[in-house]
Amino acid sequence: MTTTKLKIIALVTMFIDHFGYFIPGTPEWMGWIGRIAAPVFIYCVVIGFKNTSSKTKYLVRLGVAAVGMSFLNLLINYRILYLVEHRDLYTGFRPYIEFNFFSTLFCIAILIYLLENRKTIWLVGLFIWQFLSALFVIVLEENSLLNNPWQIFYTQTSGNFILVEGGILFITLGILFYFANENKWKVLFGYSFYCLAMFYSVRRWGWSLAGINQELFGFANYQWMMIFALPFLLLYNGKKGIGLKYLFYIFYPLHIVLLWYISTYVYYLD
């Protein structure tokens, strides 16, 4: 199975997951299927970054996509804020949009880049920034210095491993895939152990707790179903396929806007 086929599988399962999120009355199993998407995307980005002819261009592309998606979310969230304040939407209205997996993938790629090139000083600086940027968010929240749309924009552009979508656990998964180095046995045992640890941590420290635990382990209680991505990862044959490298960059924001529009204007503002 080529990386192109892996990406298409990830796109399809992601769309099913997000369709279930946005559209009222959809069955829970759509979310189960969606657990396949994130690990496959992370796996493909790790492979793509390691094999690209220009790591700098790869990082710039991911970074631009992350910032662009943050601005798109900002526009949508201001529209949501307007609708809530002026259309008196009932409490069942969907919350602010926080989807920006580009930010997560960028954080994984930049960390791999620094590890590969042994940029020790930059790594130290990056981890200092993790502390400072998280502290800044705490200050913002406690003093209500930003409204929700701008606070979400900051968290998505901060480069903080805890604040990006999926948080530190998805960043860790990216590093696990990097050190597995496409070795199927390492992927098999490493990813299986990761999913087991995810199952335990979410059940132990997940939805019931607030604060930092919510940031670290606030996944759905069926997040362990990401184990079903493993067969696809093991079927990877080391080949690129036909490419389609810009498909994800276009499809991701497009389908978020489309599903949000359908959800808002068909189901809530009919």
Stretch 7-36: mean pLDDT: 94
The DSSP letter of residue 229 is G
Residue 101: inside a domain: yes
Residue 80: inside a domain: yes
Q: Count up the domains in the chain and report the number.
A: 1
Looking at residue 38, its pLDDT comes to 96
CA angle 89/93/147 to nearest 5° reads: 85
Question: What six digits make up the tokens of 262?
Answer: 């359908």
- Residue 14's nearest CA partner among 30, 37, 43 is 37
CB of 30 within 8 A of CB of 17? yes
Residue 34: inside a domain: yes
Q: Which domain range does residue 96 map to?
A: 3-192+223-268
User: pLDDT band at residue 135, thresholds of 50, 70 and 90?
Assistant: confident
Residue 134: inside a domain: yes
120-143 helix and 148-157 helix, angle to the nearest 10 degrees: 170
- Residue 77's nearest CA partner among 251, 219, 257, 265 is 257
Residue 202: inside a domain: no
Residue 46: inside a domain: yes
Instruction: Give Cβ neighbours of residue 27 (< 8 Å, ≥ 6 apart).
Output: 20
Whole-model pTM: value is 0.91
User: pLDDT band at residue 216, thresholds of 50, 70 and 90?
Assistant: low
Residue 210: inside a domain: no
Residue 215: inside a domain: no
Q: Give the C-alpha separation, 222 to 82, whole Å.
A: 33
